[in-house]
Amino acid sequence: MVFAVTATLAAGTGVLSHRGGGPSADERRMLGELSLVPVLAQRPDATDYERSAFGQAWTDNTDAAGANNGCDTRNDILNRDLGDKVLAVVDSCARAVAAGELRSPYSGHWIVFKRGKGSGAKVQIDHIVPLAYAWAMGARTWSGAMRQRFANDPANLVAVDGEANQDKSDSAPSRWMPANSGFHCQYAVQFVMVLRTYGLYLDRPSVPVLTRALEQC
């Protein structure tokens, strides 16, 4: 089974392009995908969740897309998402971002990134479908290898400002959506497709939230 999610992005914006004139074929398809996600009345308790259940953080040693390339997952996502980059060699990656800039899709704020003390807090890599949420919605039954793949799947990862990431924590869409409303469409698309790809459940209160976001695409 192949675990990969792809979405067409409008260049430089981080959101799906909107063509207007009523629902597009992509919008209808995504609403159809949402309708196929199994729903639970509420999110189950996950007091048994531990980050270690998803393996070593940002390991390159998985079968996720793009893995085993000589760079850990964090550096891969920084390289993918940051612009105006200067690259350097570090222990965990031969083409790590030493400096660059990011317009955080969650807040819309521009961030100047420079590798060094504090840079890991300033620009963070977020799991769009949070690991704790995934654990509660089905991942607790997976093998360790599958959870490690999930934690490092680029389709579920995005570079964002640390403040927004901390604000989100492990919230479902029913409790948190990006402050940048222009990213709601893309956020909903990726959330839904990750659930579909991995066979995860969705909490019922999040269904109308994701539906509204997809209707804005």
In-domain check, residue 4:
no
What confidence tens digit (pLDDT) does each residue in 40-65 have?
Answer: 999 999 899 999 999 999 999 999 99
pLDDT at 95 over 50: yes
Give the pLDDT confidence score for residue 3 in this predicted structure.
Answer: 35
Cα(82)–Cα(103) distance, rounded to whole angstroms?
8
CB 62 within 8 A of CB 148: yes
Asked, for residue 12, whether it belongs to a domain, the answer is no
pLDDT of 14: 41
Position 65, amino acid: A
Q: CB within 8 A of 122, min separation 6: which ones?
A: 111, 113, 161, 162
Q: Tell whether 1 is covered by a domain.
A: no
- Residue 16: pLDDT above 50? no
| Percent of the chain residues topping a pLDDT of 70 | 89
- Domain hosting residue 168, numbered range: 25-215
In a domain, 3, yes or no: no
Asked if residue 90 is part of any domain, the answer here is yes
Query: Is residue 2 in some structural domain?
Result: no
Looking only at Cα atoms, what is the longest distance across the chain? 50
Task: Specify the number of domains making up the chain.
Answer: 1
Q: Quick one: pLDDT at residue 118?
A: 86
Q: Is the pTM of this model over 0.85?
A: yes
| pLDDT score recorded for residue 89 | 96
Residue 8 has pLDDT above 90, yes or no: no
The answer to whether position 10 is within a domain reads: no
Would residue 5 count as lying in a domain?
Answer: no
